[in-house]
Amino acid sequence: MSTSSTSAGSFTGASSFSSSLGQAITRAVAIASLPMQNLQTQQSALQNQQSELGTLTTRFSSLGTALTSVDTAATNGSYSGTLSNTAVGSASVTSGALPGTFSLSVSNVGAYENTMSNDAGVLKVTDPSKTSLSTGSSFTLSINSTQYQITDSTNTLNGLAQAINTSGANVQATVVNVGSSSSPDYRLSIQNLEYAPDTVQLTDDSNNNAPMLTELTPGAYVTYQVNGATAVNSTTRSLDLATGVTVNVSGAGSTTVTISQTSAGLVNALTNFANAYNSAVDEVNKNRGQSGGALTGDSAIYSVTSMLNNLTSYTSASGSIASLSDIGLTFDQSGHLNFDATAFQNAVSANSTDVMNFLGSASADTGFLGTANDILTGINDSSTGILTQSNDSLTSQISKLGDQITADQNQVNLLQQNLVSQMAAADAAISTLEQQANFFQMMFQTQNANAQLGF
């Protein structure tokens, strides 16, 4: 009998024609597989296109991030703040700040109210995970005249600290060991979270409201004067001294606060924008020409190129700044964007208002930034962008081809199984005939031999 295998169209048999039968199966399966192989080639090409779309999406996402940085610098970073005495603190500047100079005198940097559980009227705790300061579970936390009801269902010092921290009170409770490792003495430490002379006390409701805390250091306001005016008390070291101007106090003393216009943030942001733009353009250019990449000839490349041309040709009809070249952004023959920081700074020095008006705002959809943001959104928006829609289309096509390839493969597998079965039957029949022929041949040979011997 013949034997057969369906693996890769292979076939083995018992007849002398089994090799030819196997080759016939292989040829038939190969011919039947040609349409499927064509689909696989198409699918591979689409997958290469999708991979390149992913790279383009990453490049334009980086360009969008760089544009956001320019927008932030243009909106918030046109001024900087410095302190003549840096030991007093540092200044941060946001939108709305105006140039100017004023004096700041800090007489007190403030202090937090710090308290700790005392020795009197409380239990000694050697294991805060097992015992607490009291056998009761109900306490009252008082901050000045405001009271908070504290309930600790665990009856442990750790649980009491956690209950205080989740009570909504503006304090931080922790557990500290004031004893040694061999003889621990765990205490409850509570710190007020604002700079103020507040009174913080915890009382035991089950022990006649006995006070449980001792003040370690008193709280105090941050006290300061601006331009020698009346002293001001603050509960925070972050002082809002003018519109868009915040000074973060770190020490007592006197200093001069200077708010001045700067272009450093914008220079860095525009430099990064030019680099990100060039990276995106280079990736687009890879998909052009006879030796172009996977997206050569794709409509998405033409659309993106057209939109980039709209970005680079932006002009303004008002003010002394009319085009990108007026702020140091120029394009070379390869389409790369070059940024001249000196030209930009000269433009800012000559007329900063016109420069800022030309740049505009992405969020307000004005000026160059507004136009550039609209263009990049059209390219890379997560739902409506050209690259996103192209990727979605490729995903659908690849999926349909995959389904067709699977269906074709099933048909080829079925054909192969049928052919193997048919060839196995044919091989078995041939093998039987060959065995019969051999039998008769041997019989005739035997008769001839006997006749020659006279039998």
Residue in 453, 420, 358, 297 with CA at minimum distance from that of residue 29? 420
**H helical segments located in 313-385:** 341-359, 367-380
User: What pLDDT score does 190 carry?
Assistant: 97
- Say if residues 379 and 304 touch (Cβ distance below 8 Å): yes
CA–CA distance, 422 with 425 (Å, rounded to integer): 5
The answer to the question of residue 389 being in a domain is: yes
User: What pLDDT score does 322 carry?
Assistant: 94
The answer to the question of residue 69 being in a domain is: yes
Residues 330 and 270 in one domain: yes
Phi, psi (5° rounding) for residue 266?
Answer: -70, -35
The answer to the question of residue 450 being in a domain is: no
On the CB side of 76, CA atoms within 13 Å amount to 11
Residues 237 and 89 in one domain: yes
* 420-452 per-position pLDDT tens digit: 888 888 888 888 888 888 888 888 888 887 777
Residue 79's pLDDT band, with cuts at 50, 70 and 90, is confident
Residues 208 and 315 in one domain: no
Q: Is the pLDDT of residue 183 over 80?
A: yes
Residue 10's pLDDT band, with cuts at 50, 70 and 90, is low
User: What pLDDT score does 429 carry?
Assistant: 86
Mean residue pLDDT across the chain: 90
The answer to the question of residue 90 being in a domain is: yes
Arithmetic mean of pLDDT, 310-317: 89
* 108-134 per-position pLDDT tens digit: 999 999 999 988 778 999 999 999 999
Domain boundary among 209, 241, 261: 261
Residues 289 and 433 in one domain: yes
Residues 156 and 304 in one domain: no
The answer to the question of residue 306 being in a domain is: yes
Residues 337 and 203 in one domain: no
Domain boundary among 235, 261, 287: 261
CA–CA distance, 177 with 169 (Å, rounded to integer): 24
The answer to the question of residue 433 being in a domain is: yes
User: What percentage of the chain reaches a pLDDT higher than 90?
Assistant: 66
Residue 4's pLDDT band, with cuts at 50, 70 and 90, is very low
Answer positive or negative: Cα dihedral of 144, 145, 150, 156: positive
Q: How many domains does the chain have?
A: 3
37: Cβ contacts below 8 Å, ≥ 6 apart: none
Domain boundary among 218, 247, 279: 218
pTM: 0.57
- For residue 414, give both structure tokens: 């079925």
Arithmetic mean of pLDDT, 340-362: 90
Which is more confident, 141 or 20?
141
The answer to the question of residue 453 being in a domain is: no
The answer to the question of residue 393 being in a domain is: yes
Q: Is the pLDDT of residue 76 over 80?
A: no
Provide the residue range defining the domain that includes 198.
113-218
User: What pLDDT score does 226 carry?
Assistant: 97
Q: Is the pLDDT of residue 9 over 80?
A: no
Residues 45 and 122 in one domain: no
* 22-55 per-position pLDDT tens digit: 888 888 888 988 999 999 999 999 899 999 999 9
Residues 362 and 417 in one domain: yes
